[in-house]
Structure 1
């Protein structure tokens, strides 16, 4: 069992649909009013049915009051690192510290190439992401402007090379439950690679937050993992915190009712269960 002791965060993973134009923004407003900690947005710049994610985040920031906002995850091959660094720092200052940065090395290479990005091998994409993290931190530290708060760099990662990079250089890992072939138990393997790499680099593994995009169904009867009533969801997620150290749960849903139930019934119950065990 591995609990890294982080404070718990709860958020929503929103589709940046362009039609209706305001839908994604309104879902961020719902999450904000419901009391969630994060509103995050997919980033697929090569899909014409989606808004540009960074523009959407900036606009959503002006429509919300307290919730933090982030890409989930930004497509690095189509996002220049120094520009990302300055854009995030500027918006973080303008919002009073409500922006986080989450990066992905690129996965949908046909779409990326069609938009003018360069197709990379898996090894090249890991190197590029590592270089980007270095550039971003350098801009924040020296060239400025710096963020209003100690901004995190979270990385979407699954494979050993990318996970080792997270352990060496990032502040968090952000996989999706739907991509874990073995289900939530796969997080043990994720942690093994991150922790070993962090220790080899002289870092405390507890510096790396473990996040997870989740999906499920609220129903009257418990049927399977994250398929049942809010009480079961709370037990399932608390188990992930106490067994695998996951401390941020981001619900993939564009249903306002599900977002509100997650905020009102699941999040407080998870916090209570984890606090009791700790």
Structure 2
């Protein structure tokens, strides 16, 4: 089978190395605000250079609002399934339903044994994984919350109370390559998660065939298993797979979706520029190409100028799906209470352009998710602002050093204003000179094309982005001044920091409220682009 019709998802596979932890957390935050779906890390508990995967994923989940998190993949021989199940369920509860489980049979057996694990033959490793999945799903309440009993050769659980239950149906993805593991994937998994280098693109259709046959034999059907792929590449001018331009990447990944059924692409990279290009150039283009070809296969005529995927072989048309239901817009902008701390706003709030707002309008749940994502990111920025104010208060009370305060601020998404302020300003909202593909997929450029009457509002929002960036620099300068303040001048420097922070509070909260008020309906109508 070719295309399984799964919705496309995109994610990243970042390093858990101790020496890269700052970069890893920043990449996770960048993935969150650029619209990626997943952040994953490898799990090798015997590797001295690696942080613990589940502790790291918990911190990543706490610092993000939208991405789902998962081990890629969890090391079963060193993760007892009951404890693993509780870890995943706990993370799912704490993150609001954003935890998944990638699972492997284990590898590097000498290292596993050195860490206290059991050496297993290939057959024993697969047997243990099947038993472990039964235990894990039992702990998650798969049997209606009844006591968990699994009498396996490797794992024995007798009468264990299920729980805690996750808040969403956590998916189990298996890293599988051998025939038997592929058949197990078809029988019991929610997703198949191979990697380039172990399963290259040309091998995927044949491996899928094994999974499909097992899924059919189990009465599930091939569509029950999401096909995922850890990918690695570089942006350039090469002719190989994922070695060319963003457009080349998009065409190659779209071809894999339409011919080999892969629908989730997880980029292994610690380069923020590659991540941005993957999220803002490659992912939207893959979605466009796949949507166009799926519509064509379903019998819809191609519109002039619509993208095509020339590598795809046509299939008989499928029946078109029903129109999704539309509802009144449930997303509400955060109100501006009008309170100001600084008394000197750098802009007038009375002459802001306003967009025409419909009295009544209906949108599908998919369309409403777009402005909701904007609000989610804004809420994250508001929460971080509150944290900054708390940090400065601790400095005032002598509970935190100035150096620690500056370190906290510099690691926040709020401070990374080149891509987060105003939720997607700069790399999404500002027009980037000489970067035509990014311009095509940036939100403000997209909204200007779709709704020219929004131009005055978008111009004003971009102006305010620049002002807020300057205010952030004032906060940073005030922190530097506090660090270098001489004896007797510390109170004055601290007062200057608080003045700068009051101005940041006034400008940022005013701006976010204005942006939400003016863009919620346009984003529901037109999406991010």
TM-score by length of 2: 0.51
Which of 293, 297, 301 is the aligned partner of 1:277? 293
List runs of 5+ in structure 1 lacking aligned partners.
Answer: none
Question: Cα deviations across residues 146-203 of structure 1 (Å, max 9, x unaligned)?
Answer: 21111100000111010100011110110001212xx201111211111111111111
2:184 to 140, 146, 165: 165
* 1:260 matches 2:279: no
SS in 2 for 1:178: coil
- Partners of 1:139 and 1:171 lie apart in 2 by 17
2:174 aligned with 1:155, yes or no? yes
- Which residue in 2 is equivalent to 1:174? 193
Q: Is 2:247 the partner of 1:231? A: yes
Partner of 2:125: 125
SS of structure 1 residue aligned to 2:212: helix
Q: Which residue number in structure 1 is paired with residue 214 of structure 2? A: 197
| 1:15 to 2:15 alignment | yes
Residue 21 of structure 1 and its aligned partner are, at CA, apart by: 3.4
- Matched residue of 1:168: which SS? helix
Shift of 1:222: 4.1
User: Any idea what SS the aligned residue of 2:12 has?
Assistant: strand
Q: What is residue 265 of structure 2 aligned with on the other side?
A: 249
> What CA deviation, in whole Å up to 9, does each residue of 1:208-251 have, x standing for no partner?
000000001101x2421110000000000000000011000000
Tell me which residue corresponds to 2:329: none
> What SS does the corresponding residue of 2:70 show, helix, strand or coil?
strand
Q: Counterpart in 2 of 1:100? A: 100
Cα distance, 1:22 vs structure 2? 2.5
> Which segment is superposed worse, 103-112 or 18-27?
18-27
Of the three residues 228, 236, 241, the one matched with 1:211 is 228
| 8 Å CA contact 1:222, 1:232 repeated in 2 | no
Structure with more of its chain in strand, by fraction? 1
Indicate the SS of the match to 2:21.
coil
What CA distance in whole angstroms lies between the structure 1 residues aligned with 2:24 and 2:212? 35
Q: Distance in 1 between matches of 2:15 and 2:107?
A: 17
Hey, what's the Cα distance between the residues in 1 that align with 2:76 and 2:115? 13
Structure 1 residue 66, shift from structure 2 partner: 0.9
What TM-score, normalized by structure 1, do the two folds share? 0.97
What is the deviation of 1:132? 0.6
Q: Which moved more, 1:167-176 or 1:28-37?
A: 28-37
Asked if the contact 1:17/1:23 (under 8 Å) is kept, the reply is: no
Q: Which residue in the other structure is 1:187 paired with?
A: 204
Alignment partner, residue 69 of structure 1: 69
The structure whose RCO (Cα within 8 Å, separation 6+) is larger is 1
Three-state SS of the structure 2 residue aligned to 1:266 is helix
SS in structure 2 at match of 1:177: coil
Stretches of structure 2 lacking an aligned partner (at least 5 in a row): 146-161, 295-529
Runs (4+) of structure 1 exceeding 4 A deviation are: none
Structure (1 or 2) with the larger CA radius of gyration:
2
In 2, the alpha carbon distance for the partners of 1:98 and 1:268 equals: 22
Provide the rounded CA distance (Å) in 2 between the counterparts of 1:81 and 1:23. 31
User: SS where residue 19 of structure 1 aligns?
Assistant: helix
Q: Distance in 2 between matches of 1:44 and 1:150?
A: 26
